[in-house]
């Protein structure tokens, strides 16, 4: 669901959406959602204590930074000067990691349960790809109608997701 929300937010900020844009976003989100459980599974019990102690802070920091930048640009930066591009590889990788870091813990739990990881990882990746692909288009349609108000909302959603992840781990 986090990846879907970020996909919608990304779609909001893309002015001239093409199928390759939606594919790129959906592919990276699906890839990381599939890859993280595999990495968690491989890490198993050994790294669990290290990852669990700060994964929520990493996700929160990335989402809060990108969300804050979106809000700032929607309010104070003229359209021509905006630089937060969800198609930028570094921005996209940051978002993909931030929204999939919890899947690392899922992979660790799969290792504890002795579940074979390939099939679940492929299913997770495929479902994430599909919903994110649609989410980019949904966000783009909403963004066309509501303009910078949707960018502010998208930034708030990213920050909210970051807080949700943080609170889930702190409480």
Express as a percent the part of the chain with pLDDT over 90.
25
pLDDT at residue 27, rounded to an integer: 97
Q: Is the pLDDT of residue 49 over 90?
A: no
Q: What average pLDDT does the structure give for the chain?
A: 80
Query: What are 76's two structure tokens?
Result: 């104070």
The string of pLDDT tens digits covering residues 105-125 is 778 777 766 778 899 999 999
Identify whether the C-beta of residue 132 lies closer than 8 Å to the C-beta of residue 4: yes
The pTM score is 0.69
């Amino acid at each position: 669901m986090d990846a879907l929300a970020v996909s919608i937010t990304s779609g909001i900020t893309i002015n001239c959406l093409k199928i390759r844009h939606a594919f790129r976003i959906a592919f990276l989100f699906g890839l990381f959602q599939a890859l993280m459980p595999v990495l968690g599974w491989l890490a198993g019990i050994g790294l669990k204590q290290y990852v669990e102690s700060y994964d929520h802070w990493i996700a929160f920091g990335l989402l809060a930074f990108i969300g804050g930048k979106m809000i700032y640009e929607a309010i104070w930066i003229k359209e021509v000067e905006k630089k937060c591009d969800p198609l930028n590889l570094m921005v996209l990788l940051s978002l993909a990691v931030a929204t999939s870091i919890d899947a690392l813990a899922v992979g660790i739990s799969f290792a504890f349960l002795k579940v074979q990881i390939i099939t679940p990882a492929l299913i997770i990746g495929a479902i994430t790809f599909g919903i994110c692909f649609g989410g980019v288009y949904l966000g783009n349609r909403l963004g066309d109608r509501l303009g910078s108000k949707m960018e502010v909302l998208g930034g708030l959603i990213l920050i909210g997701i970051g807080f949700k992840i943080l609170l889930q781990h702190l409480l």
